[in-house]
């Protein structure tokens, strides 16, 4: 199961009509492989109509099943469309990718540092166990001191 957005939802987001959005996609179809975009089947389209109560064929609704765009397709769509809104979306997407890469790099450095500290802590724990063992061996066993006084035969 993939998360997707339909062409009509994206057209609304980019302030385009579905027809113009799909026309731009068809003109640049080589930029949209199957993991970027696919067309819903008639059964999926029918289920979508029932789920969202959209207009059916013959009542002013669309005649063909909609296209579904994955996250990669949405990013590509922002670079294909020619509008101020699409340019702004493309800029936001690029900035988000850069921030994500920076966050991953920071987390990677942090993970390396945690591993280093864990290794140092492990070495220290082994050393402490050895020191405690040596201290226990140095400690002489306590001998009982003889009782002071006289012993008598009666209790």
Q: What is the pLDDT of residues 85-143, one digit of tens each?
A: 888 888 888 898 888 888 888 888 888 888 898 988 988 888 888 888 888 788 766 77
Residues in the chain: 155
Residue 8 CB-density burial (10 A; 0-12 exposed, 13-18 middle, 19+ buried): middle
Q: What is the pLDDT of residues 45-73, one digit of tens each?
A: 777 776 665 555 555 567 788 899 998 89
Residue holding tokens 């059916």? 56
Determine the pLDDT at residue 36.
92
9: nearest Cα among 48, 47, 44: 48
> Which residues does residue 6 pair with via DSSP β-bridges, in sequence order?
68
pTM above 0.75, yes or no: no
Alpha-carbon distance of 17 to 92, in angstroms, equals 22
């Amino acid at each position: 199961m993939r998360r997707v957005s339909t062409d009509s939802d994206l057209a609304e987001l980019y302030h385009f009509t579905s027809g113009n959005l799909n026309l731009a996609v068809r003109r640049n179809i080589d930029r949209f492989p199957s993991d970027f975009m696919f067309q819903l089947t008639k059964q999926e389209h029918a289920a979508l109509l029932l789920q969202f109560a959209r207009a059916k064929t013959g009542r002013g609704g669309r005649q063909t099943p909609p296209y579904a765009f994955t996250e990669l397709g949405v990013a590509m769509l922002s670079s294909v469309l020619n509008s101020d809104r699409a340019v702004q979306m493309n800029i936001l997407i690029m900035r988000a990718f850069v921030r994500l890469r920076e966050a991953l790099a920071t987390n990677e450095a942090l993970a390396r540092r945690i591993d280093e500290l864990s290794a140092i802590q492990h070495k220290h724990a082994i050393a402490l166990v050895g020191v405690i063992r040596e201290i226990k061996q140095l400690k002489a066993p306590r001998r009982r001191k003889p009782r002071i006084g006289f012993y008598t035969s009666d209790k």
